[in-house]
Amino acid sequence: MDYFRCFVAAVYIGIPLTFGPFYVAIVYVLFIRTNYRKLRCYRLMIQLGVSQILMSVGFITAGIASVLQYDPAGAATTGAKLMTACLRVEAGISLALALDRCKVVCSLKIPNFIIQFVVLVSWLFGLVHFSVLISPLADFPFRPEIFAPVYDYSKPLSAIVQKIGYFYSLSTMFITFCLYLLVVSYLLHKQVKLNFTKSDFNQKWIFMQALLRFTTDATVTIFYHFGTLLLTKSVGVAIAVVTGYAVNNLVIPTVLYIGFNRRLRRDIFGRELLIRVAVPTSMLYTVSPANT
């Protein structure tokens, strides 16, 4: 069992320590470079990155508590509460980014204040979510024996906070996916209208990434909330859920940014890195200034 605890801790801590520095570098470059920061899509991506990077605190403290089999100073519990609050923020910012893509690509007349409002609500929702969890009204303690946090239903608002957070996250994920589906449909319609005979793989890849993000987000979210009863019975389920969140919010975004955005990769590493892939550089989270 000691070896197993060490393995789980290595996974929880290893993912943020491996991919976190690269993600921080990505957000740093997006922030300091004017050519990125002046575009709203990149400003949204910066906020998205911040919310996901903050989740690293939850994963690292969870790893420490897992190997020790107790939660020193409640650090893992606080980290879990921060992580779940950041998940709510991430879902809302992703929706704002999808609205921005619809506005730019599809030339939809979406008022700027709507996107700004979605961003504001996202951060406020996350802040309120975290504030309630650290209050005496609700709790989300980390349980080292199952290697995961669970809601404490003895608190009056724990169940309500869980349900509201679940429906908020899942609904924003679904709307985000539908918006990207609209973008791809628009591009394909435009392609047919202009009598293009060659399939535009770039357009298809936008949809593929939207599908990937929606599938991973929704799967982990549904699996956790519907599998709550299983968490007390199956350690494997708990570990899979926590690891899924780490992969989805730290590994996948970092790989997509570095692997498929040539200009950003060059700005981060200071030179061109040759990465042979069978997909183009037009990505879900990458846009060209000429198109904005």
Summarised one tens digit per residue, pLDDT across range 85-122 is 999 999 999 999 999 989 988 888 999 999 999 999 99
CATH for the stretch 2-291: 1.20.1070.10
Looking at 69-157, list the stretches that DSSP marks H as alpha helix, in order from N- to C-terminal side. Answer: 75-105, 112-133
Q: For 64-86, what is each residue's pLDDT tens digit?
A: 999 999 999 999 999 999 999 99
The answer to whether the CB of 115 falls within 8 A of the CB of 39 is no
Can you tell me the distance from the alpha carbon of 260 to that of 57, in angstroms, rounded to the nearest whole number? 27
Can you tell me the distance from the alpha carbon of 127 to that of 131, in angstroms, rounded to the nearest whole number? 6
231 C-beta neighbours (distance < 10 Å), count: 19
Contacts within 8 Å (CB) and 24+ apart, 30-37: 30/264, 33/267, 35/289
Side chain identity, residue 269 = F
The pLDDT of residue 196: 54
pTM of the predicted protein model:
0.84
Q: For 118-157, what is each residue's pLDDT tens digit?
A: 999 999 999 999 999 999 999 999 999 999 999 999 999 9
Range ranked top by mean pLDDT from 46-55, 170-179, 280-289: 46-55
